[in-house]
Structure 1
Amino acid sequence: MDTAQYLDVFIDESNEHIEVLYKKILDLEKDPNDKSIIEEIFRAAHTLKGMSATMGYNDLATLTHTLENVFDAIRYDRVHVQSNMIDLLVETVDHLNTMVEDIAGGGNGSHDIQEVARKLEMFEKGTANIKEEHVEDSLEAESSNHSNVFTDLDEFELSILNESKERGFQNFEITVELREDCLLKGARVFMVFEVLEKLGEVIKSSPSVNDLEEENFDYTFSVILVSNQPKDEIAKKIQKVSEIDSVTVQHFSVKKYRESREIEDQIQTMQKDNATVSNNIEDKSKEPDSAKSNQNKTIRVNIEKLDVLMNLFEELIIDRGSLEQISADLQNSDLMETVERMARVSSDLQNIILTMRMVPIDTVFSRFPRMVRKLARDLDKQVDIEIIGADTELDRTVIDEIGDPIVHLLRNAIDHGVETPEERLQKGKPEKGTIKLKAYHSGNHVFIEIADDGAGINKEKVLNKALNNGLLTEQDIEALSEQQIYQLIMESGFSTADKISDISGRGVGLDVVKNTIESLGGSISIDSILGKGSVFSIQLPLTLTIISALLVELNKEKFAIPLSSIIETAIISKGQILSAHHKKVIDFRGKVVPLVNLKDVFQVPDTATDEEYTSIVIVKKGEKMAALVVDSFIGQQEIVLKSLGSYLSNTFAISGATILGDGQVALIIDSNAIIK
């Protein structure tokens, strides 16, 4: 069966089953007696095994089959869940994940699974608590992968191999490769068989003995040998025969052989089932539409196709703006009505396309529980992670970038935030710390909060470090709010840790987290209570490609300010402009807000006017605000965010550009950079 056409579906569904395995194994650790969790894990493993066998990935199928056996033993109470078992189960799923990643990268999914399979079998047999040095010899013959060479052993031959094992002999699969310049292959085979007959009894050869004698083979042949000699000794004696390139000796497991044959039978059965299903589908396709089901159906779409669709729609938005401009100039009622209808339809289309690009944030969150568990164990801490709002959706572009900053913040919370069990008990806290990872929508933004019930942030320590680093003076400290003090830990090179740790930081400070989030058009704020814990709150835009913006004018040049940053627009008289610390400010609802002239920021020539009133845009970044001075407001418009390219990537206070309906290019202002 040609399985290439199913590869993408196989990879997608395998990843889904692996995520289920990860999640449910961690749930099982919390509630080992919940049979429903065990059933879900068993079903995921069983499905993954069948898919892998059908696709011909035998290592993946074999390891999943072994994992399935363990859970079969658990659900029928032959084995009880232990903490060290959870570690092994997570490690096993890591191996499965590695194999699927290899397949996705174009590999064949081959992986060394012998050791982890052996450990799983120990748990299945209830021998996992016996010291490994006592069981290793007895399990050694069972530890190798099944043979891919011998596929036709009959029951008589298998019974001989079983009996020899019971009598203390060992079964070996030996592969001999002759040199390519070997002239008399048959003679070399005869000499190898002479050596083998002195070491034990040859049960089977591949190719057959007749083919070997007549030299009907390339340069490699294999045999199954029953012997009481060590495998190193067997290899050494065979190597003494001249013109041999290599000799491989490994234990032959009858059990593994039988299991491999079961899997092959499954493959054949599934291939027949697939053929039947295909025929059924073909028959159903000939049925009339009335006979077809009206149930909702889903399809998988490559993300690159969605990117192309979004790019085409961006061009449509630009053309829509151009049409609106032409319509306004011509004042033709029919044209204006058509353009208005087109605007409504394109707005609906925009919402659908943006919704298609939305991905549940659970795709990022799902990998954190196992990471938190591993880090906590490495640090001898006890930490629970509670995830809230994993179904919150975010644009795929943002999803791709937000994972690493959250990982860094979680590492920081576990390493520096949550105390050791002893310290927590001394403070009257529960022995186990808790980290809450929460996501929710608010307006056109998504908020992600990482909260811990740890030690909190020591303000005095932060201020002393800031003074020593020259970030502040004694006079500056008095004017700082608590939020501003906490923000200092995100300055470059800032750390209050008494010793450097490999867990969090790794030589990279929280300034990298802050820069990544701000590059996505987001912001991060910190709140903390000493001894009680800390909360890191990340604010992100829902999407990065099409945004609503306010168009403004500076000396006949057009600029766009994202609406998500704007609090209010206003027109003030010159008499309302005040001065503080030699800088212009205004009183905005009882707060002193600095006044920033955009012409000065962007070096736009200023045409002197004696106008009494000034147009301003109040923008915010967290708790901070600024009033941006502009010449005039043009109006609100949906714009397509275009990158300025690598040469202009570091342009101050400009996050990109957009093409307007009249063909002009308007630069998009990054108000976060101005406030900073």
Structure 2
Amino acid sequence: MDMNQYLSMFIDESNDHLQSLNESMMGLEANPEDLSIVQVIFRSAHTLKGMAATMGFEDLASLTHQMENVLDLVRNNKLRMQDFIFDTLFKSLDALESMVEDITGGGEGKADVSAIVASLQAIVRGEIPTAAGGAAAEVAAGATAEAPVFLDEFQYSVLEQSLQEGHKVLYVDVAIRKDCQLKAVRAYMVFDLLERSGEVVKSFPSVQDIEQEKFDHSFSLYYITQKEASEIQAMILNLSEIDKVTAVALDQESLHQMGQDTVAAAAEAPAPVKEATPVSNASPASAAHAKEEAGKPAPARTGGAPSRTIRVDIERLDVLMNLFSELLIDRVRLEQLASEVQNADLTETVEHMGRVSGDLQNIVMKLRMVPVDTVFNRFPRMVRDLAKSLDKKIDLVVTGAETELDRTVIDEIGDPLVHLLRNAVDHGVEGIQERLAAGKSDTGTVNLRAFHSGNHVFIEIEDDGAGINPQKILQSAIKKGILSQEQASNYSDDEAIQLLFAPGFSTAEVISDVSGRGVGLDVVKSKITSLGGNVVVYSTQGKGTNFSVQLPLTLSIIAAMLVRLGSEKYAIPLSSIVETGIVKQTQIRSIHGNKMVEFRNSHIPLVSLSKLFSVPDYDESTEEETEIVVVRKGERLVALAVQDFIGQNEIVIKNLGKYLPEVQGISGATILGDGQVALIIDPNAFIK
């Protein structure tokens, strides 16, 4: 079978599972005794292993299999999570990610993971390095040791309720002949036979171990059915190579006694693990079936419900957006024609078309919007590893991950944020001893925030570290030849802080794998600027530093106010407009050679667009009154002088390409309903 047609699907789904594994592992590290998280991790790893094996990536499948062995011990209360196990599992995830990257690049997903595999196998054997040196103390019974079939609270309640509802609960013990060559296949046939007449709630060894032939020649299980014990016994004995079968029907009393026995046995076992919320230790599918049979809501199952999402190539969305842009231009043209013709039927049809295209526009826009969570979700793991390598304690607090940005910005913003976070962890947050000496807690906090404001999205990275010392920055800049001593003496504190973005600048004394090469913040600044954004630094010594990144939503369709200057038309984005008004020539003041007008008890600059853009057939100074549009960026306001207001409209932003490169004050162009081209004004440029 040709697997290449499924390769892109495999890569996408593998990346999703690896991200899920990373997030769940972070959650488990914060709460090591929550076995419900282990179940989620185990399911993701099991799915990933199955996909890799199907696609023929054996190295990937075998490493995931070794991880499963460790996780199986944990979820069956036979192993307690600790630092060494977490580190080994995280290393395994890194290796899996590099394999998937290799496959993405056209490779075969090969990697030398012998050291990681050896560590995982040592954990399964109980050889875990601990501070006390008790290697085997953390492992209770090995996976193949003789032990009763432990029931957790949930499984016990499922069996108990099944009895109350009239089902039969059997304890079945099956022995396969010693000379059987394929005992896993024979065991599968037993399970397959039983699943046709009821539900297996729990088996020992686990279903996974039986699949991998990790059992002697016998296994036991709890089973819910409507058939008699003797009938089940006879059915299993009819299979070839079955040596002996014992099936015992349980009543409420005997089930209760077995439940008491397993509780006692668990209490005597070494390395006790705090009882987690009731979660099935059987395979997820069988546990879900049993729970449904017991009349309870089924737990989440992989592959149970049909998927409600599909993956779409971003290029197709771009084509859809361009087609809709053309449709919008035609709609505006039709509206103009309908107003000229004054035909009732035509007007009604055009109005309906306007409503439908408005709804279509909302959907098209939302298709392109992606939550910043798709970028943020890889940062907790990165900060955890970085803090560990620097011997620091750091909490990463993420807020506003649901904030949406255009897909084109999402694709580009990841690397700049990585630089800023690494900077906060390395330079921002102090070491444990320094923090304690400064009267702070030993754990530093890095806040990663995203929020909407107007037609922009702000992403802030704030730490509670030592803050930025402007004098230290100036000394470092002089030392590296970026500034002369004389230039430095004229710099204010704010200007000194901005030097962080100078090419080749670094305050690190020692070059490490984290920082010190002077490549970072200058790259961040140039990348964010290329996206039409801006980055600002706020810092208080002793309190911490805040890097605020401002990004445009970069929507292709915006609401705008159309204005006229002589024979030319311009569009001003509505999101930047505070209000419109009229000023008389007598109200215009000249302060230091700059025109100013009074606006709400303060004076703001007045910019003449006709002079700025050299409009030949209009000069507002010849008129008694001038229309103005007041625009805002942050707290700053500017009044733009125009001739007439045409009205409010939805416009399609068209890139100017190479025709008008970097014209100050112009961000693009649009085609109006009458076929004319109107330039789109960038209010931010005037305020800068």
Q: TM-score, normalised by structure 1?
A: 0.69
Aligned to 2:65: 65
Q: 1:493-529 CA distances to partner (integer Å, 9 max, x unpaired)? A: 5968364766358534645534543444444444443
* Conserved? CA contact 2:397–2:448, under 8 Å: yes
Q: Summarize the alignment of residues 259-658 of structure 1 with structure 2, pairs less than 5 Å apart.
A: 297-442=308-453, 444-458=455-469, 488-489=498-499, 492-493=502-503, 497=507, 499=509, 503=514, 506-508=517-519, 510=521, 512-605=523-616, 607-608=618-619, 610-646=622-658, 648-658=660-670
- Closer, same or farther in 2 for the Cα pair 1:631/1:360, shift >3 Å? same
Q: Residue by residue, what CA displacement relative to the aligned partner does 1:448-472 show, whole Å, maximum 9, x if unpaired?
A: 2222111234466679979968889
In structure 1, what is the Cα distance between the partners aligned to 2:596 and 2:57? 69
C-alpha contact 1:654 1:669 (8 A) present in aligned 2: yes
Alpha-carbon distance in 2 for matches of 1:111, 1:259: 26
Distance in structure 2 (CA, Å) of the matches to 1:574 and 1:500: 62
How much does 1:665 deviate?
A: 1.7
How big is each residue's C-alpha offset from its partner over 1:115-157, in whole Å with a ceiling of 9 and x where there is no partner? Answer: 32222222222324299xxx9xxxxxxxxxxxxxxxxxxx999
- Indicate the residue corresponding to 2:96 in structure 1: 96
Q: Structure 1 residues 73, 452: closer, same or farther in 2, change over 3 A?
A: same
Asked if 2 retains the 8 angstrom alpha-carbon contact of 1:386 and 1:434, the reply is yes
- Which residue in 1 is equivalent to 2:199? none
Task: Give 1:63 deviation, angstroms.
Answer: 0.8
Q: Does the aligned pair in 2 maintain the 1:492–1:509 contact within 8 Å? A: no
Partner Cα separation in structure 2 for residue 619 and residue 322 of structure 1: 28
CA contact (8 A) 1:461 1:496 kept: no
Q: Could you say if the C-alpha distance between residues 455 and 544 of structure 1 is closer, same or farther in structure 2, counting changes exceeding 3 Å?
A: same
Map of 1:81 onto structure 2:
81
Residue identity opposite 1:23 in structure 2: E
Output the CA distance in 2 between the equivalents of 1:623 and 1:487.
21
The answer to whether the 8 Å contact 1:462/1:488 transfers is no
Mapped to 2, the partners of 1:533 and 1:347 lie a distance apart of 46
Secondary structure of the equivalent of 1:62?
helix
**Per the alignment, do residues 335 and 458 of structure 1 end up closer, same or farther by CA in structure 2, a change over 3 Å counting?**
farther
Residues 49, 60 of structure 2: 8 Å contact kept? yes
Inter-partner Cα distance in structure 2 for 1:625 and 1:303: 37
How far apart, in 2, do the equivalents of 1:593 and 1:509 lie? 37
In structure 2, the CA distance between the partners of 1:499 and 1:559, relative to structure 1 (3 Å rule), is farther
* Structure-2 separation of matches of 1:294 and 1:95: 31
What's the offset of the Cα at 1:41?
1.0
Q: Hey, what's the Cα distance between the residues in 2 that align with 1:521 and 1:65?
A: 46
Number of equivalences: 519
Determine the structure 1 residue equivalent to 2:225: none
Distance change in 2, residues 1:452/1:305 (3 Å):
same
What is the CA–CA distance in structure 2 between the aligned matches of 1:61 and 1:325, rounded to whole Å? 63
Contact 2:372 2:404 in 1 (8 A): yes
Preserved CA contact (<8 Å) 2:564 2:643: yes
Does the 8 Å contact 1:490/1:509 carry over to 2?
no
CA gap 1:77/1:294 in 2 versus in 1, 3 angstroms: closer
Q: Counterparts of 1:157 and 1:294 in 2: how far apart (Å)?
A: 38
Letter in 1 for 2:615: V
CA contact (8 A) 2:507 2:516 kept: no
Distance of 2:574 and 2:65 partners within structure 1: 55
Consecutive unaligned residues in structure 1, runs of 5 or more:
136-154, 159-257, 263-292
Range 504-513 or range 416-425, more displaced: 504-513
| Whole-Å separation in 2 of the counterparts to 1:67 and 1:561 | 57
Structure 1 residues 463 and 59, CA gap change in structure 2 (3 angstroms): closer
Give 3-state SS (helix, strand or coil) of 1:81's partner.
coil
Distance 1:370 1:562, change over 3 A: same
Determine if contact 1:417/1:533 at 8 Å carries over to the other structure: yes
Contact 2:470 2:497 in 1 (8 A): no
User: 1:294 and 1:596, CA in 2 relative to 1: closer, same or farther beyond 3 A?
Assistant: same
Q: Distance in 2 between matches of 1:592 and 1:505?
A: 46
Give the residue type in structure 2 aligned to 1:657. Answer: A
Which amino acid in the other structure matches residue 507 of structure 2?
A
Kindly provide the CA deviation profile for residues 426-449 of structure 1, in whole angstroms up to 9, marking residues without a partner as x: 111111101111223455543322
1:670 equivalenced with 2:682 (yes/no): yes
Distance 1:606 1:554 in 2: 8
Cα distance between partner residues in 2 of 1:362 and 1:471: 43
Cα distance in 1 between the residues matched to 2:52 and 2:648: 54
C-alpha offsets along residues 168-213 of structure 1, whole Å, 9 cap, x if unaligned? xxxxxxxxxxxxxxxxxxxxxxxxxxxxxxxxxxxxxxxxxxxxxx
52-61 or 103-112: which moved more?
103-112
What is the alpha-carbon distance in structure 2 between the residues aligned to residue 93 and residue 8 of structure 1?
20
What is the match of residue 120 of structure 2? Answer: 120
Structure 1's 471 and 332: CA in aligned 2 closer, same or farther, altered over 3 A? farther
- CA distances 1:526-546 after superposition (whole Å, capped 9, x unpaired): 444332223333343444211
Is 1:36 paired with 2:23?
A: no
* Contact kept in structure 1, 2:509 and 2:516, CA below 8 Å: no
Aligned equivalents of 1:499, 1:585: Cα separation in 2: 49
Pair 519,425 (structure 1): closer, same or farther in 2 beyond 3 Å: same
Distance 1:36 1:517 in 2: 41
1:345 is displaced (CA, Å) by: 0.9
Query: What is the deviation of 1:93?
Result: 0.9
Deviation at 1:303, TM superposition (A): 2.5
CA distance in 2, matches of 1:614, 1:643: 31
* 1:614-647 deviation line (CA, Å, top 9, x unaligned): 2222222233332222222222221112222246
* Matched-pair contact (CA < 8 Å) for 1:551–1:636: yes
Change (3 A) 1:467 1:60: closer
Tell me which residue corresponds to 2:226.
Answer: none
Following the alignment from structure 1 to structure 2, what is the Cα–Cα distance between the partners of residues 92 and 349? 45
How far apart are residue 351 of structure 1 and its match? 0.6
Amino acid at match of 2:426: D
Matched residues in 2 for 1:55 and 1:658: separation? 48
* Separation (CA, whole Å) in 1 of partners of 2:585 and 2:511: 55
CA distance in 1, matches of 2:629, 2:517: 41
* Alpha-carbon separation, structure 1, partners of 2:424 and 2:70: 35
What RMSD, in angstroms, separates the aligned Cα atoms of the two structures?
3.5
Q: Aligned partners of 1:294 and 1:79: how far apart in 2?
A: 32
Contact 2:505 2:518 in 1 (8 A): no
Q: In 2, Cα distance between the equivalents of 1:606 and 1:506?
A: 55
State the 1:18 CA deviation. 0.4
